[in-house]
A = this chain, B = another copy of it.
Amino acid sequence: MVSVSLGDNKYGKAENRIVRIVRDTPRHEIIDLNVTSQLRGAKLLDSYLTGDNALVVATDTQKNTAFSFAKEFGVPSPEEYLLALGEHFVSSFDWIEGGLWQAEQYEWERILVGGQPHDHSFVRKGQGTRLATVAKEDGQTYVTGGVKDLVVLKSTGSEFAGFPRDKYTTLVETNDRIMATSVTGRWRFLPDAVEAGIDYNGLYAEVTEVILAAFATVHSLALQQTLWEMGKAAIEARPEIAEVRFQMPNKHHFLYDLSPFGVDNPGEVFYAADRPYGLIEGTIIRDGVVEAPGAWKDVPSFI
């Protein structure tokens, strides 16, 4: 007779596409979010075992709440909005012990008309997607910010050499290559800073700026080194950040061999490959901070 138990679980409503227009003045603002809300609690066990839904806050109810909070609480930043949303669920239903609330934010720019930014017409920026999460787990609240799909490339200033050679090694060393990646990064905020309040929007702008600058200026001997310097720059820039996690594909650009056609190719024509790709993942942690595995266990990143 086989006997089984329920382990880790959560449930909710994913990818609520919430668009909030701030129209208090003729100069509108737009906040464009993709929000996921998920709950958990030991008392939800019976919903799995017998389909007893007496304690199941419906995923449809989570959706309604997420939309309504975009008006009731507003969206000063995705992090603050998610904090309010998460607090609502754990305080309203005493059997809900925790959960995970996530947002993607798509940025928009004002359309220029005669050089002037328009009041209520926008074009999607398309450069990177902002990320935010709030996790409540074992009585703790964890907050992260982040970015994904930030695609960068440097056409020189990157080497890869000095690696070990075995039977399966055919790669030629290079002291000048294209380096390109699509940055996915998440930064965890220190609990004390969350408590004190953070200018999340200003921080996002600053962190994306400093990681781009680090990518640009580091003379790279390996993508690992660049990743490290980018994380270090973010932590140095903002005291609110405890740690940064990056996932960076090495988007290979191979020099195209034009010599069969009698054409010289000194680093000018490349083939941008799709698959396979390198995949470098790493965490940079401020010394002295308390580790927080609970912040990461459910986050859809590499770790």
Chain B residues near A161 (CB-CB < 8 A):
53
Q: Which of A207-221 contact B (CB under 8 A)?
A: 209, 212-213, 215-217, 220-221
Answer whether A178 and B19 are a contact pair too, CB < 8 Å, given A11-B280, A152-B123, A157-B121. yes
Q: Does A200 contact B (CB under 8 A)?
A: no
A14 to B70, CA, bound (A): 29
The secondary structure that dominates the A interface is mixed
How many copies the complex holds: the figure is 4
Chain B residues near A215 (CB-CB < 8 A):
111, 121
* Size bracket of the A interface: 35 or more
27 pairs from A and B in contact (CB 8 Å cutoff) = A4-B232, A5-B285, A9-B224, A9-B282, A11-B224, A18-B272, A21-B155, A21-B269, A23-B266, A38-B281, A48-B225, A51-B221, A51-B224, A52-B221, A57-B166, A59-B279, A61-B166, A61-B169, A68-B256, A71-B265, A118-B217, A120-B154, A123-B150, A123-B151, A125-B127, A167-B262, A274-B275
